[in-house]
Amino acid sequence: MNVKRLLAALVLLVLCAGAAVAAPLDVFKDMKGTLDIAGGTAHIPVMNKAAQSIMTFNGDIRITVAGGGSGVGVKQAGEGLVGIGNTGRPLKESEIKEYGLETFPFAIDGVAVVVNPKNTVRALTAKQIAGIYAGTVKDWGEVGGEPGAINVYGREDGSGTRETFTEKILGKTELAPSVNVVSSNGAMKTAVAQDARAIGYVGIGHIEESIAGIVIDGMIPSQENAANGSYTVVRNLFMNTKGTPTGLTAAFIDYIYSADGARFITESGYIPVPRGQ
């Protein structure tokens, strides 16, 4: 192959690669309209990245993303107030029946127990954690830390993060009335980061330097370990719609399953789930 042909081939490869990168957004080219999304707060980073990408590509599309928790996602999608309602847990049969919802799992997220970085405790058993949330273990000195009261933080009823934490760690343990309730992963991070005696829980994707993850029964909280099965406090993240999605809603869901969507999911600290799994 001569130099001209080689250069032509290279240009063709570059153009094809560029087309492949742009392809996931092409479906939005001639679209107009608004899509409202609400629900699980763990989903927000992924939804925001996808929404921004789409709106940058096409200024005639407006996408809003709000939180509120999994319960809000179910209710608002079911009542037609939003096009997509996000949940950090599977839909209940009663919810599917009442609202006619369809569900789309798109990512795997681990749920991690976290403390303030000033806390020397970095490992606990599930039994110790259950005791802390039940109020029978009240002092950090009882679990190997510096003596001092344990300030316990939890999520609101209806939170998918809370349901996973309860199912995988607490079981049937009844929560103490002294548990401080916060309304999002972001609020939990802020509470724990500002309280040296705090303990709480967040999606693993939310762990950063302001909070410290706890090893549970020898399991290290990381997305890699959640993916390979060595960390078992995990859940799926779901998008839910009232009936079969169409138009902009369907295109958005398709985009989350595209190569761009997988990148947004990974960048947000989660593990992509192929469509249909």
Q: 180-183 — which CB contacts under 8 Å span 24+ positions? A: 180/151, 180/152, 180/153, 180/154, 181/153, 181/154, 181/155, 181/156, 182/153, 182/154, 182/155, 182/156, 183/67, 183/69, 183/155, 183/156
pTM value?
A: 0.74
pLDDT at 10: 36
pLDDT at 160: 86
Q: What is the pLDDT of residues 24-70, one digit of tens each?
A: 999 999 999 999 999 998 899 999 999 999 999 999 999 999 999 89
| C-alpha 108: how far from chain center | 8
Domains annotated on the chain, with CATH: 33-107+237-272 (3.40.190.10), 110-234 (3.40.190.10)
**% of the chain exceeding 90 in pLDDT:** 80
Average pLDDT across the chain, whole number = 91
Residue 243, amino acid: G
- CA dist 124 and 142 (Å) reads 11
| C-alpha 258: how far from chain center | 18
Which is it for strands 84-87 and 33-39: parallel, antiparallel or unpaired? Answer: parallel
Torsion from C-alpha of 120, 209, 152, 138, nearest 10 degrees: 0
What are the CA-CA distances from residue 176 to residues 158, 165, 186 (Å)? 17, 15, 23
Per the DSSP assignment, residues forming a β-bridge with 61 are 33
CA-nearest of 206, 256, 244 to 63 is: 256
Q: Residue 263: in which H helix or E strand, if any?
A: helix 259-267
Per-residue tokens: 247: 């138009």
**Which alpha helices (H) appear in 135-246, and where do they start and end?**
160-165, 185-193, 223-228
* Site of tokens 């001639």: 30
* Mean predicted confidence (pLDDT) in 9-25: 50
* Residue 247 · residue 33 · CB < 8 Å: yes
Q: Is 110 left (phi over 0), alpha (psi -120 to 50) or beta?
A: beta
**% of the chain exceeding 70 in pLDDT:** 92
Which is it for strands 101-115 and 234-242: parallel, antiparallel or unpaired? Answer: antiparallel
What are the CA-CA distances from residue 162 to residues 130, 168, 174, 229 (Å)? 13, 10, 13, 20
pLDDT at 192 over 50: yes
